[in-house]
Amino acid sequence: MNNIRAASVQFQHLPSDKPANLNKIRAFVEKAAARQVKLIAFPEMCITGYWHVRKLSREDVDGLAEPIPSGPSTRLLLSLSREHEMTVGAGLLERGEDGSLYNSYVVAMPDGRAACHRKLHAFEGPYMKSGDDYTVFDIPGGCRVGVLICYDNNIIENARMTALMGAEILLAPHQTGGCRSRSPRAMGAIDPVLWERRREDPAAIEAELSGPKGRAWLMRWLPARAHDNGMFLIFSNGVGTDDDEVRTGNAMILDPYGEILVETGKADDDMVVADLDAEILATSSGRRWLKARRPELYAPLSIRTGKERDTRSVRFED
């Protein structure tokens, strides 16, 4: 891996308003270019909107979805990438060649390539299909990048597989925080009135964003994905009202030791930028631990226990 300057963005998308959301993406890419950023990550499904999708008919979801890479949103991302010589990742609804619908993440590169990751654990309504492949690829500038979307990151095997495939940087786009849960110690809903009054009382909403419904919940597990696998991790997230929930932002970039290089706690659209120092990869704990693996012991990991269930049911229990 070579050194690279990276950015992570949080912003409040508008439901089903792709032109407005793409305009925000364009504006952030331009700001990042002025700071010589070469890799930027935007949130999960930020182009199409996210949580309202579960309430749409299949016809309406299909109307929002686009093919990748031939769809207009991917073409725009590729154009921005070429114009600013920057690798750009953003999430949207994908329509596969067979008509299947996916929660996907496009990574547009200045050389004209577009990588696509389909969320492995999709639950955004009954019409969404989960992907079946890990996504790891090289970007211009000499870095190897992997992608895991939101819930994908909660399953520890996914991060380990991505690292084993050579990922040095993990893009982790989310729409999380402020989620309702049956577990009394896993996030929880945020009063939308606090978001609506963020200008008058920023301290109240920022306390929620940084507390157990947001950043404090992330700190229980997110740094471990970077640390245990020796990867830089770029966490991007929505912020603000998302249908009947409030996303908590907390865009951040972590190093391979799980240390936070930069983060934001703003109750607003925001971007954070950090220089990723390739030299610390080789000496990170996670990289050394990968060398100490004994794969012959791990065969049971690939055998079903009978307790596995579809993410759509599991998501609302934990």
Q: Which residue is it, tokens 């693996």?
A: 293
Which pLDDT belongs to residue 318? Answer: 43
Cα–Cα dist 156/160, whole Å: 7
* pTM assigned to the model: 0.96
Residue 274 near residue 262 (C-beta atoms within 8 A): yes
Q: With CA atoms as reference, report the closest residue to 242 among 315, 200, 179.
A: 179
Q: Which residue is it, tokens 């009054």?
A: 197
Q: With CA atoms as reference, report the closest residue to 8 among 236, 276, 304.
A: 236
Residue 16 near residue 52 (C-beta atoms within 8 A): yes
- Domain 4-314 is in which class? alpha beta
Residue 147 near residue 107 (C-beta atoms within 8 A): yes
Cα–Cα dist 136/210, whole Å: 31
Output the tens digit of pLDDT for each of the chain's 318 residues. 999 999 999 999 999 999 999 999 999 999 999 999 999 999 999 999 999 999 999 999 999 999 999 999 999 999 999 999 999 999 999 999 999 999 999 999 999 999 999 999 999 999 999 999 999 999 999 999 999 999 999 999 999 999 999 999 999 999 999 998 777 777 899 999 999 999 999 999 999 999 999 999 999 999 999 999 999 999 999 999 999 999 999 999 999 999 999 999 999 999 999 999 999 999 999 999 999 999 999 999 999 999 888 877 666 554
Condensed to tens digits (0 to 9), the pLDDT of residues 257-281 reads 999 999 999 999 999 999 999 999 9
Distance of CA 247 to CAs 26, 31, 276, Å?
A: 22, 23, 27
Which pLDDT belongs to residue 217? Answer: 96
Count the Cβ atoms, other than its own, within 10 Å of residue 310: 11
Condensed to tens digits (0 to 9), the pLDDT of residues 211-252 reads 999 999 999 999 999 999 999 999 999 999 999 999 999 999
Which pLDDT belongs to residue 186? Answer: 79
| DSSP code per residue over 177-233 | SS---SSTTS-----HHHHHTTTT-HHHHHHHHHSTTTHHHHTTTHHHHHHHHT-EE
Residue 147 near residue 117 (C-beta atoms within 8 A): yes
Q: With CA atoms as reference, report the closest residue to 217 among 262, 257, 259, 247.
A: 247
Structure tokens at 60: 């309406």
